[in-house]
């Protein structure tokens, strides 16, 4: 009888083990399938878009019909769009034998973003080209060419340098490519991020990570004006080292979503690199290419200090929802247009304004010198009257 019960128990255990094995195997297969599906959705093809008659072709790796989990395919496509930039600076020093001039070399990175019949245009950081006397660009095929500064936007740490096409060989022109620019507004925390640049001046290298945070407010001092400036940046744990400045932060489609800047990074902290979003950099770089050094560059802004009038504040104090103007900046477009403290901004152009973020987002698509119709609510006899005021945007660096 005891042996019979033991046989029954043993049979039950074997059956349970078999069932668990089937369920466990199914679960692990399902997990593997889910991971494969995730990477298949996130990976992209590596075929470049080509336009007939254009020697330098924009890169695109967004062909979803080609699936790969190996980022080396993406990097291979993007590398021809990233360059190394070397700058020479001269510095006067005092010594026992009298004053003398020494020459030092700095390194950075750049991204090929545009070209015309005469020049190739490269985006980089302002601090890469600042105070340099001579610039040299090294391309993907390791050939070099002299470069000059087209324009700078110090308050955004952005610059454009140009290289004459006549200084490039046919072989180089056939190998380099204009970068594919992505929409940084479409990225999310946790997305994969790849940084490419001339780290420490050793040559092009790659670091990988994820998007750690978006809209991270970072404050630095403008070395040109001495002003303290705040910028909203992409934070990533992909290493951004000296020399990476001006290089590309890309997504898994091979699209540039940010311009790396070691200026904002802290050497005492690991895993906190920063990049200027393409949504911010795009209009500024376009302005620099079109207008060069003659333009007033910087972040376009109205020129106010304001606080949000939220729904709670609105109901408590019977105020319109919007941005309450605390102070206008001297010499700004807001001051010149007649906006005064106490006004509440409720609309800019056709966009409703409910917060300072709304106002900043609205202005991000404009450039310095543009005029925007700002709708303000003005206190009048215990209530508010609406008025539309045209404001010409000035540069934050001004």
| Residue 187 CB partners (closer than 8 Å, separation 6+) | 211, 214, 234, 251, 257
Q: Which residue has the tokens 């005469």?
A: 118
Q: What is the pTM of this model?
A: 0.59
CA atoms within 13 A on the CB side of 279: 17
First to last CA, the chain: 97
pLDDT along the chain (398 residues), means of 10: 44 41 36 38 42 47 43 87 86 62 78 93 89 87 91 85 93 91 92 85 82 81 59 85 84 92 60 86 88 60 88 90 90 90 93 89 77 93 91 72
- The residues, ordered by sequence, that sit 6+ positions from 216 with a Cβ below 8 Å of its Cβ are 232, 233, 234, 235, 274
- Predicted pLDDT of residue 124: 93
At 201 the pLDDT is 67
Residue with tokens 């990097």: 75
Position 89 scores a pLDDT of 74
Domain 184-294, second-level architecture = Beta Barrel (2.40)
pLDDT at 96: 59
Query: Would you name the residues annotated as active-site residues?
Result: 127, 157, 245
Distance between CA atoms of residues 26 and 20, nearest Å: 10
**Residue 68 burial by Cβ neighbours in a 10 Å radius (0-12, 13-18, 19+):** middle
Give the pLDDT confidence score for residue 348 in this predicted structure: 92
Q: Where are the alpha helices (DSSP H) in 136-217?
A: 170-175
Kindly indicate whether the domain formed by 300-395 is annotated with CATH number 3.40.50.2300.
no
CA distance 375 to 348: 6
Residue 339: per-residue pLDDT: 94
342: left (phi over 0), alpha (psi -120 to 50) or beta: left
> CA 182, CA 364: separation in Å to the nearest integer?
16
Inter-residue long-range contacts of 41-50, CB under 8 Å, 24+ positions, other chains counted: 42/192, 42/252, 43/67, 43/68, 43/69, 43/252, 44/68, 44/74, 44/252, 44/253, 44/254, 46/73, 46/74, 46/76, 46/77, 46/254, 48/77, 48/177, 49/180
Which residues lie closer than 8 Å to 23 by C-beta, 6 or more apart? none
Compute the distance between CA of residue 260 and CA of residue 268 in angstroms, rounded to an integer: 18
The domain segmentation of the chain, as residue ranges, is 184-294, 300-395
């Amino acid at each position: 009888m005891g042996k019979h019960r033991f046989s029954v128990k043993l049979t039950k255990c074997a059956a349970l083990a078999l069932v668990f094995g089937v369920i466990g195997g199914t679960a692990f297969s399902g997990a593997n399938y889910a991971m494969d599906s995730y990477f298949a959705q996130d990976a992209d093809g590596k075929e470049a878009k080509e336009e007939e008659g254009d020697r330098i072709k924009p890169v695109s790796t967004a062909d979803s019909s080609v699936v790969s989990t190996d980022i080396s395919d993406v990097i291979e496509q993007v590398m021809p769009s990233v360059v190394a930039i070397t700058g020479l600076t001269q510095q006067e020093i005092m010594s026992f034998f009298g004053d003398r001039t020494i020459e030092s070399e700095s390194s950075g990175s750049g991204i090929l973003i545009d070209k015309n019949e005469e020049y190739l245009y490269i985006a980089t950081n302002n601090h890469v080209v600042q105070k340099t006397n001579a610039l040299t660009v090294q391309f993907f095929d390791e050939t070099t060419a002299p470069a000059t500064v087209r324009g700078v936007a110090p308050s955004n740490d952005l610059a454009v340098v140009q290289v004459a096409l006549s200084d490039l060989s046919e072989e180089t022109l056939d190998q380099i490519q204009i970068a594919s620019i992505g929409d940084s507004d479409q990225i999310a925390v946790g997305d994969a991020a790849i940084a490419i640049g001339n780290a420490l001046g050793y040559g092009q290298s790659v670091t990988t990570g994820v998007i750690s945070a978006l809209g991270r407010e970072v404050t630095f001092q403008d070395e040109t004006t001495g002003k303290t400036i705040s910028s909203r940046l992409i934070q990533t744990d992909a290493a951004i080292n000296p020399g990476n400045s001006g290089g590309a932060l890309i997504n898994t489609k091979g699209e540039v979503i940010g311009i790396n800047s070691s200026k904002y990074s802290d050497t005492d902290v690991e895993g906190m690199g920063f990049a200027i979003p393409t949504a911010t950099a795009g209009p500024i770089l376009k302005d620099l290419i079109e207008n060069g050094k003659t333009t007033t560059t910087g972040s376009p802004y109205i020129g106010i200090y304001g606080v949000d009038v939220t729904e709670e504040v609105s109901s408590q104090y019977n105020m319109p929802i919007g941005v309450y103007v605390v102070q206008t900046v001297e010499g700004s477009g807001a001051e010149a247009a007649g906006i005064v403290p106490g006004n509440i901004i409720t609309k800019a152009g056709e966009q409703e304004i409910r917060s300072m973020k709304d106002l900043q987002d609205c202005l991000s698509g404009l450039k310095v010198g543009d005029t925007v119709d700002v709708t303000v609510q003005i206190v009048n006899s215990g209530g508010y009257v609406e008025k539309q005021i045209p404001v010409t945007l000035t540069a934050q660096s001004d």
